[in-house]
Structures are given as C-alpha cells and as structure tokens.
Amino acid sequence: MSSGHPQLSLSRRQFVASGVGAALAVGIGAAPAHARPRTFGSYGSPGHRLTPRTLYVDARGAGDHTTVQAAVSAAAGDGYILVLAPGVYRETVSVPATATGMTWIGAARDPRRTVVVYDNAAGTPKPDGSGTYGTTGSATVTLRPDGFTARGLTFANDWLRADHPEITGTQAVALKVMGDRSAFFDCRFLGHQDTLYADSPALATLARQYFRDCYVEGDVDFVFGRGTAVFDDCHFRTLTRTDLAGAPYGFVFAPSTAGANPRGFLVTRSRITSTAPAAYYKLARPWVPSSDTTARPMLVVRDTRMSSGIDAVAPYTNMSDAYPWQGQRFAEYRNSGAGAVVSVAANRPQLSPAEAAAHTPGIYLGDWRPAFRLRSGGG
C-alpha cells in the first residue's frame, strides 16, 4: 500500500548549490564515521522543481525561511514539503496535527550536516515563571500530524546533567512523535535521557511509526513511549556516564504500550553498541505511567546484534516493582553478540520460529507500507 507521501525531486539550483558547504556538527555524542546511517543520493538535478507546497529553509537566508518553525507556521494545509539546507537550527519546533502529510528533507547527503537542536530539560524553568517544561515540553521537535515523513536529518537535545547540577528533572527529549503513519529514513536522534519519544496523541488513538536506517543514542530510557514503533536496520548506541560510579548506567528501551496500540516496539535487523563498560546497560524496563495503569509494555528484539555493553545475564529490570517486567510482553528472537548470550533462560524470554512469524514489520504496521520515493523529471 502506498505511504501517501509525495514523490520528490529537489532542484532550485541556487538553493541546492548553497548546500555544499562545510559540514556542521552538533556537540554531543556524535557517532563515529563507521556508525553513520547509510546516506542517499542526490534528490534531483538543477532545472527540476517541486510543487508549490515546497518551502526552503536556510539559516543564512538563501531560502524562503531562516527557521524551521517559521516554515512550519507558513505551511497552511496538508502535504507540504520542507527542504532544509545544511546547518544547525537551534530552536524548538512544534508541528500541529493539521499539517498532515508533511515531509522534511535534509538537502545534504549526510544527515550530520542538517541538525535541529535545543537544550531544554524536564526541570528547566520556563521563561515566564509558570513552572518547568516537563518531559513532553522538553522536546526539541514535537510532531503531532499523521503521515509525517523525514529523511536525512538529525534531531538533537544537547542538555547536559553536568552543566545543570541544580536540575533534577533530567529528561531531555530530542523528538516526540505522536502521529500515525510517521516515517523516518536515514535520521539521527541524539540526546541522553528520553532521547526519542514514540508516543500517541491519546490512549485510545492508534499511532504507528517506522524508523529505517536510523541512529539513536542516549543513556536512560532513550527510546520510550506508548506508540507502535518499528525500528528496521537501525543502530542504537549507549553512552558512557561520568556522574555514576557503577552499573547500571541506564536502559535502552522503555515501552508503555497503550490499549489502542496492541503492539509496542519491534526492533529488527539492527545493532546495539556501547561506549560504556561491559554489562553496564539494561536492554529494557517497562514503563507503566500513573496516567495509564492499564498499559502492557511490549518489546520484541529480533535478528539484532548486541555488544557487551548490554547485561546479558539480566537484561531486563523494573521501573516499578508494582509492574514487574516478567508480567509484560518482552521477548527476543535469534539475536547475536556478547550482549545477547542466553545464560539464564528465565531472564531472556525467547520466541519460537512460529511465534516470531507474528512479529514482523508488516504485522506491526498493518495496512501501511511506509516508503520514500523520488520522482524524476521536471515541470
């Protein structure tokens, strides 16, 4: 089934030409060159042009807008395409639910070169004195519409605990996505605690999200939420912490699967690496929030390679003893690497081949087949 997103071809000769400058980097946890997601080719040739619903963003003034939020605010209606020139866009961005079918594209070949970043944390005081931001309010980018697609971008939150010892609310979200049929290709998500929030707009609303060839890094619950999210051929990296003397440093996944999302997180054909000492990270812990005590967190990790940074003996733990992980839906299938060794069978539930057949991207995504297609030809 078609994703419903436009087939694209970038041109605007002057704009594309402006996107070949030196790379800009965000100053937190950059992945080594070998860990980068696969890049992609040129989005078209000079002389081709996009639809009238295309807006070009360039912080240096070569586009229609200099900030991403300005372009989002100018995009009245659905189906808009935002093309972001290389650069660091230090701002928070909120996309309303009415902007259905919106697409963001990094004009550079490398997602490292186009970065949307800010530095709010849950405990950061709001400028108007009305309190702190909270976890949701800390997000650098908040996406509410259905049918959103992004490719070739970095979403980051560079708030650091060491810089703010007075703040105890250390959750700092890079991206919160809530819409159904939201897809991300060749994107990077950088942060520490609560980096990527795969959520839904309401407990009773289905929200499916797809991540392909993406890179996510962090330390505490850095992939979390109640949505149905598929991570296909992605790279997760756990970071070293200087504020803790011993294990555990943190947790990769913290699903809080809601009733309207019968399936939670599926990780397939991916890898989990670490900069931390061996066994300093748990693979997951279930999150049953006070706002939804009926949640049944679900995580399946299959055909994935885990480094020694994951505690192979006891990879799961509790967020609350009232909701032990053994009562949730955690399972693995055909994983490999030092962090995937099954030494205590009771600590690592494994799927049979027949059970694994029910845990594939197609099953989780249902009638939606996410795709990103380019169109050739001008007009």
Q: What is the mean pLDDT of residues 188-210?
A: 97
Q: Are 139 and 189 in contact (CB under 8 A)?
A: no
pLDDT given at position 372? 75
Q: How many CB atoms lie within 10 A of CB 351?
A: 16
Quick: pLDDT tens for 261-291: 999 999 999 999 999 999 999 999 999 999 9
Q: What is the C-alpha separation between 154 and 117, in angstroms, rounded?
A: 8
Distance spanning both ends of the chain, measured CA to CA: 27
Query: Percentage of the chain with pLDDT > 90?
Result: 82
375: its two tokens: 């169109």
pLDDT given at position 245? 92
Residue 139 pLDDT exceeds 90: yes
Query: Percentage of the chain with pLDDT > 70?
Result: 84
Token pair 């186009």 in the structure block, residue: 114
Q: For residue 120, which amino acid is it? A: N
Q: Which of 119, 199, 221, 311 is catalytic?
A: 221
Lowest-pLDDT range of 14-28, 40-54, 171-185, 296-310: 14-28
Lowest-pLDDT range of 29-38, 112-121, 236-245: 29-38
Burial of 278 (0-12, 13-18, 19+ CB in 10 A): middle
Quick: pLDDT tens for 59-95: 999 999 999 999 999 998 899 999 999 999 999 999 9
Token pair 């995580």 in the structure block, residue: 299
292: its two tokens: 């939804």
**Catalytic-residue membership of 221:** yes
With CA atoms as reference, report the closest residue to 71 among 133, 116, 6: 116
**Nearest-5° angle of CA 220, CA 223, CA 229?**
165
Q: What is the mean pLDDT of residues 181-185?
A: 98
- How high is the mean pLDDT of the chain? 88
pLDDT given at position 5? 38
Pairing of strands 54-57, 175-177: unpaired
Q: What is the mean pLDDT of residues 132-142?
A: 98
Helices (H) and strands (E) in the chain — how many of each? 5, 25
pLDDT given at position 379? 26
Domains along the chain with CATH numbers: 13-26+34-50+82-91+105-365 (2.160.20.10)
Q: What is the mean pLDDT of residues 341-351?
A: 97
Residue 163 pLDDT exceeds 90: yes
pLDDT given at position 137? 98
Q: Are 266 and 300 in contact (CB under 8 A)?
A: yes
117: its two tokens: 């970043």
Quick: pLDDT tens for 25-59: 333 333 333 333 333 233 332 233 456 699 999 99
User: CA separation (Å) from 43 to 19, 38, 85, 149, 373?
Assistant: 12, 15, 13, 15, 10
Q: What is the mean pLDDT of residues 325-354?
A: 98
Decide which of 364 and 259 is more confident: 364
pLDDT given at position 297? 98
pTM score of the predicted model: 0.88
With CA atoms as reference, report the closest residue to 57 among 69, 40, 45, 44: 69
Task: Return the half-sphere exposure (C-beta side, CA atoms, 13 A cut-off) of residue 177.
Answer: 29
Q: What is the mean pLDDT of residues 86-112?
A: 96
Residue 224 pLDDT exceeds 90: yes
Here the contacts of 195-199 (C-beta below 8 Å, separation 24 or greater) are 195/157, 195/222, 195/223, 196/222, 196/223, 196/224, 196/225, 197/135, 197/136, 197/139, 197/173, 197/224, 197/225, 198/223, 198/224, 198/225, 198/227, 198/229, 198/265, 199/225, 199/226, 199/227
- Is there a cis peptide before residue 248, judged by omega within 30 degrees of 0? yes
pLDDT given at position 371? 87
Decide which of 23 and 64 is more confident: 64
The dihedral sign for the CA sequence 321, 324, 325, 329: negative
Q: Are 348 and 317 in contact (CB under 8 A)?
A: no
With CA atoms as reference, report the closest residue to 184 among 208, 164, 166, 201: 208
Decide which of 255 and 35 is more confident: 255
